[in-house]
């Protein structure tokens, strides 16, 4: 098992999750009630699973593909350490990863 910490959009709340290596970060986030929409269900056709990886953890991730970079251009509140949660396959080397849920997002499904 490994640990992932989500910092809530308000910057105050924290949720720690224990997960198995090989899990997709978006799935872990949604299972822990994080407000990541994931409209395209991991097909990299939206940016609704945008997260901001903690600066100290960012270099532990494999680089984003050009396609992921293009989708991040559509996300609200992008930072230098922004990634799409659907593209992060968690490995043991990422144990202790901390990600911030952005305070703003784009709702691709429209009002509910």
Q: Considering the domain boundaries, does residue 30 fall inside one?
A: yes
The count of domains in the chain is: 1
Residue 112 has pLDDT above 60, yes or no: no
Q: Considering the domain boundaries, does residue 90 fall inside one?
A: yes
How far, in Å, are 19, 21, 43, 110, 111 from residue 99 at the CA level?
A: 14, 16, 21, 25, 26
Q: How many other C-beta atoms can be found within 10 angstroms of the C-beta atom of residue 84?
A: 27
How do residues 75-96 score in pLDDT, each as one tens digit?
A: 989 999 999 999 999 999 999 9
Query: Count of alpha carbons within 13 Å of 96, Cβ hemisphere only?
Result: 5
Q: Considering the domain boundaries, does residue 105 fall inside one?
A: no
Query: Which one, of 99, 96, 98, 89, lies nearest residue 22 by Cα?
Result: 89
Query: Residue 59: pLDDT band by 50, 70, 90 thresholds?
Result: very high
Residue 70: which CATH number?
A: 3.10.20.30
Q: Considering the domain boundaries, does residue 110 fall inside one?
A: no
Q: Is the pTM of this model over 0.85?
A: yes
The per-residue pLDDT for 108 is 46
Q: Distance (Å, rounded) from C-alpha 41 to C-alpha 7? A: 22
* Residue at token pair 């822990």: 32
Q: Distance (Å, rounded) from C-alpha 52 to C-alpha 46? A: 16
Task: Write down the mean pLDDT value for the chain.
Answer: 92
How do residues 7-18 score in pLDDT, each as one tens digit?
A: 999 999 999 999
How far, in Å, are 15, 86, 106 from residue 75 at the CA level?
A: 23, 14, 7
How do residues 3-58 score in pLDDT, each as one tens digit?
A: 999 999 999 999 999 999 999 999 999 999 999 999 998 888 999 999 999 999 99
Q: Considering the domain boundaries, does residue 107 fall inside one?
A: no
Q: Give the domain range for residue 28.
A: 2-100
Query: Residue 105: pLDDT band by 50, 70, 90 thresholds?
Result: low
For residue 20 the two structure tokens come to 């198995």
């Amino acid at each position: 098992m490994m640990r992932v910490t989500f910092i809530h959009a308000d910057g105050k709340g924290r949720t720690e999750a224990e997960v198995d290596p090989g899990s997709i970060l978006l799935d872990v986030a949604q299972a822990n009630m994080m407000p990541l929409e994931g409209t395209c269900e991991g097909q990299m056709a939206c940016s609704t699973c945008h997260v901001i990886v903690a600066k100290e953890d960012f270099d532990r991730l494999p680089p984003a593909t050009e396609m992921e970079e293009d989708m991040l251009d559509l996300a609200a509140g992008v930072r230098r350490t922004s990634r799409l949660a659907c593209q992060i396959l968690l490995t043991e080397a990422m144990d202790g990863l901390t990600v911030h849920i952005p305070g703003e997002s784009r709702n691709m499904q429209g009002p509910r």
